[in-house]
Amino acid sequence: MPTETPSEISFDLTSEADTQWLGQSLGQSALPGLVVALVGNLGAGKTRFVQAAAEGLDIPREAVNSPTFVLIHEYEGRLPVYHFDTYRLGDIDEFLELGADEYMSGDGVCFIEWADRMEEVLPRDRLTITFEITGELTRRVTLAAGGKVSQSVLGSLSGHRGAGSA
* pLDDT (tens digit per residue) in 25-75: 999 999 999 999 999 998 899 989 999 999 999 998 888 877 666 788 899
In this predicted structure, the answer to whether residue 5 has a pLDDT above a threshold of 90 is: no
The separation between CA 124 and the C-alpha centre of its own chain, rounded to angstroms, equals 15
Q: Which residue has the higher pLDDT, 23 or 5?
A: 23
pLDDT band for 11, please (50, 70, 90 cuts): very high
| CATH architecture assigned to 26-135 | 3-Layer(aba) Sandwich (3.40)
What average pLDDT is seen over the chain?
A: 88
CA separation for the pair 123, 1 (Å, rounded): 31
| Domains in the chain: boundaries | 26-135
- pLDDT tens-place string over residues 96-147: 988 899 999 999 999 999 999 999 999 999 999 999 999 988 999 999 999 9
CA separation for the pair 40, 142 (Å, rounded): 11
In this predicted structure, the answer to whether residue 20 has a pLDDT above a threshold of 80 is: yes
Numbers of helices and strands, H then E, in the chain: 5, 7
Nearest CA-CA partner of 114 in 72, 55, 158, 60: 72
Give the 3-state secondary structure of residue 126.
Answer: coil
Crossing angle of helices 148-158 and 16-29, in 10° steps, is 130
pLDDT band for 163, please (50, 70, 90 cuts): very low
Q: How many Cβ atoms sit within 10 Å of the Cβ of residue 150?
A: 25
CA separation for the pair 81, 155 (Å, rounded): 21
In this predicted structure, the answer to whether residue 161 has a pLDDT above a threshold of 60 is: no
